[in-house]
């Protein structure tokens, strides 16, 4: 492939399921909070229904299936309780996907790197610091800073605004692992390369991913920077 076919672009990385193997920890923390209410989320339900949602919308969806509604105060209380359980569990079972630190470092050497995630910002910062790559990340769009959660494009539109403010964004690639994340990226008009940590490559491609790889080792600069 001729060198001219490649362009250096900004990189927007999802967090849970892309850099850190934390989705099982999130599920366990949700169930810690839901158990006193006699509720639970199955692993299948979590992957198929809730993987791309932020904490608040997961709780709203689960409670609504009981025909109940939550006040915003209730939602904030549940999210706060869940993050306590998550951080306790995450601290004990912190796992990154092989190559995560190298991916962030390498992409930061080529252009701006942003994290676009439905996780809470302090959860993301905790992991980035533990990985030793916090300084490589230019900005974070978290659950607190987006007006809606994936598959809505709002998180990526917020990221594009951040990039534009830094004189970047004309060429941007997204790395996602969920169907909702892929859909959000494409609705924002972005190129998206999916990593099959959570869903098979075929499903990710059918959701709209421009390319899909098995794991982070497949996210070479050639794959990420090749213009569609």
CATH number at residue 109: 3.40.50.1000
What does the buried/exposed string (b/e) look like for 99-118 if buried means 16 or more CB atoms within 10 Å of the residue's CB?
A: ebbebbebbbeebbbbbbbb
Considering the domain architecture, whether residues 198 and 109 belong to the same structural domain is answered as yes
- Distance between CA 88 and CA 119 in Å, rounded? 15
Residue 60 pLDDT > 50, yes or no? yes
* Tens-digit pLDDT profile for residues 160-170: 999 999 998 77
Q: In what order do the strands lie in the sheet with 211-213?
A: 139-141, 113-116, 10-13, 172-176, 191-195, 211-213
Same domain, 111 and 197: yes
Residue 7's pLDDT band, with cuts at 50, 70 and 90, is: low
Task: With cut-offs at 50, 70 and 90, classify the pLDDT of residue 209.
Answer: very high
**What does the mean pLDDT of the chain come to?**
92
**For residues 192 and 209, what is the distance between their CA atoms, to the nearest angstrom?**
5
- pLDDT tens column, 11-31: 999 999 999 999 999 999 999
> Cis peptide before 72, with omega less than 30 degrees from 0?
no
Q: Which of 57, 92, 127 is the last residue of a domain?
A: 92
pLDDT exceeds 50 at position 2: no
- Does 142 lie in the same domain as 99? yes
Cα dihedral sign for 118, 207, 18, 5?
negative
Question: Where does the pLDDT of residue 227 fall: very low under 50, low under 70, confident under 90, or very high at 90 and above?
Answer: low
For residue 222, the SS3 value is: helix
pLDDT in tens, 84-97: 999 999 988 899 99
* For range 57-78, the mean pLDDT: 91
Residues 109 and 131 in one domain: yes
Question: How does residue 65 score in pLDDT terms, banded at 50, 70 and 90?
Answer: confident
Residue 55 structural domain: 23-92
102 and 213 inside one domain:
yes
Indicate whether 102 and 208 sit together in one domain. yes
**Where does a domain end: 92, 124, 152?**
92
Residues whose CB falls within 8 Å of the CB of residue 159, separated by 6 or more in sequence, listed in order: 12, 114, 116, 139, 141
| CATH code assigned at 74 | 1.10.150.240
| Contact (Cβ atoms closer than 8 angstroms) between residue 41 and residue 143 | no
pLDDT value of position 3:
38
Q: How far apart are CA 146 and CA 159, in angstroms?
A: 9
d(CA 153, CA 131): 28
Q: What percent of the chain has pLDDT over 70?
A: 96
CA dist., res. 68 & res. 121, Å (int): 28
User: Is there a single domain that holds both residue 125 and residue 38?
Assistant: no
Q: Are residues 17 and 45 in the same domain?
A: no
Task: Among 51, 75, 92, identify where a domain stops.
Answer: 92
Same domain, 131 and 78: no
SS3 215: coil
Q: How many domains in the chain?
A: 2
DSSP single-letter state for residue 72: H
pLDDT tens-place string over residues 29-57: 999 999 999 999 999 999 989 988 899 99
Say if residue 101 is in the same domain as residue 88.
no
Confidence of residue 179 (pLDDT cuts 50, 70, 90): very high
157 in the same domain as 121: yes
| Gyration radius of the chain's alpha carbons | 17
What are the angstrom distances between the C-alpha of 184 and each of 15, 34, 82, 154, 178?
15, 28, 25, 8, 10
Pair (154, 210) in one structural domain:
yes
- Is residue 45 within 8 Å of 30, Cβ to Cβ? no
- Three-class secondary structure of residue 172 per DSSP: strand
């Amino acid at each position: 492939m001729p060198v001219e076919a490649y362009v250096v672009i900004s990189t927007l990385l999802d967090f849970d399921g892309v850099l850190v193997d934390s989705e099982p920890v999130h599920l366990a923390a949700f169930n810690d909070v839901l158990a006193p209410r006699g509720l639970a989320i199955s692993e299948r339900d979590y992957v198929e229904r809730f993987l791309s949602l932020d904490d608040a919308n997961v709780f709203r969806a689960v409670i609504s299936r009981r025909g109940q509604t939550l006040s915003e105060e209730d939602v904030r209380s549940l999210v706060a309780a869940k993050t306590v359980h998550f951080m306790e569990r995450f601290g004990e079972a912190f796992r990154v996907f092989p190559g995560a630190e190298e991916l962030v470092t390498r992409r930061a050497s080529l252009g701006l790197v942003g994290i676009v995630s439905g996780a809470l910002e302090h959860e993301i910062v905790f992991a980035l610091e533990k990985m030793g790559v916090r300084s490589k990340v230019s900005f974070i769009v978290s659950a607190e800073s987006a007006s809606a959660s994936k598959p809505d494009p709002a998180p990526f539109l917020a990221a594009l605004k951040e990039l534009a403010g830094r004189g970047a964004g004309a060429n941007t690639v997204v790395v996602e692992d969920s169907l909702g994340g892929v859909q959000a990226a494409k609705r924002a008009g972005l190129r998206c390369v999916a990593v099959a940590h959570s869903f098979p490559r075929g499903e990710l491609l059918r959701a709209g991913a421009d390319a899909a790889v098995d794991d982070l080792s497949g996210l070479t600069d050639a794959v990420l920077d090749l213009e569609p």
